[in-house]
Chain A
Amino acid sequence: MERNQMHRQIANTRKLMFDQGYLDEQFIQLEELQDGSNPNFVEEVVTLYYRDSARFLSNLDQALEKRPLDFSKLDNLMHQFKGSSTSIGAKKVKTECTHFRNYCNARNAEGCKRTFQNVKKEYTTLRKKLEAYFQMSRQVGPVETAYASSVVVCTIRYDTIHSLHLNIIHSNLPLRRCAARSH
């Protein structure tokens, strides 16, 4: 019963993420790719995304510090970051990225900085939500598959909001490589 409740809760959480626009169909695609042979695919991809994208964000931060702003470089960085975000279905993040790029094209420094803050905000919000979601799923999901606490790996150097610790470090980390590389 509790399990059912958990399941329902998980489903609701998930639905909420979609309804609120944090995730889009691409996330569903990821879920569809998850199957027996790839049981933690979604989580793995998301983890990978957070780990890798932190790098972009910190680069963007640095680039935004420079004067004068190199808009084309910013655009390039953002393009890549946006690509990643699109791949996991991070809808709001993607939208903010688009805004950022528009400001970049318009060479609007203020606009860029402002939207970048939004990007970061959406990025972290989504991360929290996803982490919570995965955590829940792990709890109810098949215990056999090791649930990597690795979602935490995403914390990375970029993210200063360490409150996200999703440190549920379970013994078996399916995302071994993520864990290994976490720093």
Chain B
Amino acid sequence: MTVEEFTGSVGVSNEIDRFPIGMRVLAVDDDPTCLKLLDCLLRKCQYQVTTTNQARTALNMLRENQNRFDLVISDVHMPDMDGFKLLELVGLEMDLPVIMLSGNSDPKLVMKGITHGACDYLVKPVRLEELRNIWQHVIRRKVESKSQSKSNNNQEKPSHEGGQEAGSGDPNGKVNRKRKDEEFEDLEDNGNEDDDPSTQKKPRVVWSIDLHRKFVAAVNQHGIEKAVPKRILDLMNVEGLTRENVASHLQKYRLYLKRISQQANMVVAFGGSKDISSYMRMNSLDGLGDFHSLSGSGRLPNAQLSSYSSSGMLGRLNSATGMTLHSLTAPTLIQPTHTQNLTGSVSSLNKFQPVVLPTPPNHQPTNLFQGIPTSFDLGQLQQNNKPNTQLPDFNTIDESRFFNGSSAFPTLGSQSCLNLVSSSSTFLDVPQPMSDNFHDQLPPHSSLNYGHTSSNNMITNTMIGFGSNITSTPSVPLEGQSESQRHVQYGKQSYGQYSSNTFSALVTAASPPNGGGLGGPVSQSNDLICGVYNRSNGNGPLPLQMNKQTHKSNSKLKMGSGENYLPSGYDSLDDLMNGMMKREQDPMIAMDGEFGFDPYSFGSSI
């Protein structure tokens, strides 16, 4: 992408030309030496630099005025807040490109950065030449948002492209590239059509929980495949929201779902060979007696379950959530290939449920689930190798918040579970504007990127994370997730594995909200999902019934409106679930075959 190209596009030239010079960068690094060096280097590139050595300060600055900065560069290793967490939050709340900096060039960390939504990952010491190019990330975002608006014209195509891109290795990069290419053509072709609106610097849209919930509801209504920005926008019927906003949010959401599903898959894969039943036992989910049944169900791949059980996390999960995870694992049965993923995701979902349920006072948690199902790409979930160790900690958190959910996820496989948990937690956070609570509650799982300082943001982040992770989840009633939870951070995978896992789990669990509409393997996951929903809805058994055994377990989990699982806040979660499930009736039923491996085939693939 060259500046010339931009210039060619209508109305973009003014903005673009300015960018490399005077671009406003916020640099965050706790090391004063590095910060000073960075400051000097950036000034050499003629950017406007603001520095801070505290992540919290940076966040405050960003929140105060969302339009104050164009780009954020942040160190990974910081004492007050993990760089990845900051990354997620910024992406979610502010939709700003974030570049990670680290002295460590370990590919795993780089991958983590990418999955959390970083635009780039630089290794210290940073060279001037590298910094000279960072403005491209800002431009890219703008182009993408423009292309998204354009994509509204060709709704299916771009969204599919975006979604598919998201599924690929580097979603951000690839999608951007494709979109950019497409966009350039469009821009040139369309002429000045969207000049005024697109060239003007639009105020950032803050995806509040409500907004996000509406978004998810709209998406689910269409089905993830058919959900194009324009239709979503119409359904949402929110004033002041543009197609571009929706389009970019949708993209993030997809990435999030994809990520979730990937994580779920990884978790599943990671699972290993523990005995599921033992796993189940480990999770003494209140009222989730059915896990055993789940495991018992032929559908559940014992291997899978066992793998989960092996994860320490499960053991820790005392809450039903843990159980749900089991059920999640069960879904793997649905599709042999996917089962693993499903299981993971399902479990994560299950776990998720408990989490989600309790907290959202305003039914926001439901949104959480919505995000999850969509991207259950179990195969991808397998990537989560983090053992459940992480999840177990969740159990400690009895708050309905995600912890509960997270505990459930442990079954998935630590990581995925954790992600879910984290996601769920985030979601939960949203309703309760105390993101910090989560942190406190959450045992210091390194894997969990809770870092959501603001409850809303957190939830959204997680939600978003989920969405992106679970690209392949079956039609998960995403709607449930509150918009706020969803915050724009789809891309931000800070929740990383956890969120994706949780989402996957949630998704799967949520999917059969229709009350057993799920058929086949998918149903299992759906059940889980439904289970999740059920809990939130307090319908308890409803979703559970959906898919035979899996559902059973799910239902158990959900039981009774999750009170069993989550001490408090379940109600909200229940509501969330209910909302989600209801919305997902159609997709759920469709979930027959693959469990949402295809992000778009949310309901259809199953």
Q: Which residues of A contact B (CB under 8 A)?
A: 26, 29-30, 32-33, 38, 41, 44-45, 48-49, 52-53, 76, 79-80, 82-84, 86-89
Contact = CB atoms under 8 A, between A and B. Distances in A.
Interface stretch (B30-38, B289-297, B428-436): B30-38
Contact of A83 (B31, B127, B128): B31
A87 B125 contact: yes
A129 to B, nearest CB: 18
18 contacts: A45-B40, A48-B33, A52-B31, A52-B33, A53-B33, A79-B104, A80-B30, A80-B103, A82-B103, A83-B31, A83-B103, A83-B124, A84-B33, A86-B125, A87-B31, A87-B33, A87-B34, A87-B125
A86 B103 CA distance: 8
Contacts of A41: 40
A128 B77 CA distance: 29
Interface in B9-34: 30-34
B40 A38 contact: yes
Contact of B37 (A45, A76, A79, A80): A45
B41 interface: yes
Max chain A C-beta neighbours (<10 A), residue from B33, B41, B77, B127: B33
- Main secondary structure, interface of A, reads helix
A182 B77 CA distance: 26
A83 B30 CA distance: 11
B254 to A, nearest CB: 35
A87 B32 contact: no
Contacts of B68: none
B44 interface: yes
B77 A45 contact: no
B31 A29 contact: no
Contacts of A82: 103
Given A29-B127, A33-B44, A80 B77 contact: yes
Interface string B34-51: 101100110010000000
Given A29-B128, A80-B31, A48 B36 contact: yes
Contacts of A26: 125
Given A86-B103, A87-B124, A33 B41 contact: yes
A30 B44 CA distance: 12
Interface string B97-131: 00000011000000000000000000011011000
Nearest to A83: B103
B435 to A, nearest CB: 25
A76 B30 CA distance: 13
B402 to A, nearest CB: 26
B1 to A, nearest CB: 28
Contacts of A45: 33, 36-37, 40
B33 A49 contact: yes
B104 A48 contact: no
Given A26-B125, A29-B127, A29-B128, A87 B77 contact: no
Contacts of A76: 77
B18 to A, nearest CB: 22
The residue in B30, B104, B125 that gathers the most chain A C-beta atoms within 10 A of its C-beta is B125
Contacts of B104: 79
Contacts of B34: 83-84, 87
B103 A79 contact: yes
A30 B127 CA distance: 10
A80 B127 CA distance: 19
Nearest to A24: B125
A84 B33 CA distance: 6
Contacts of B40: 33, 38, 41, 45
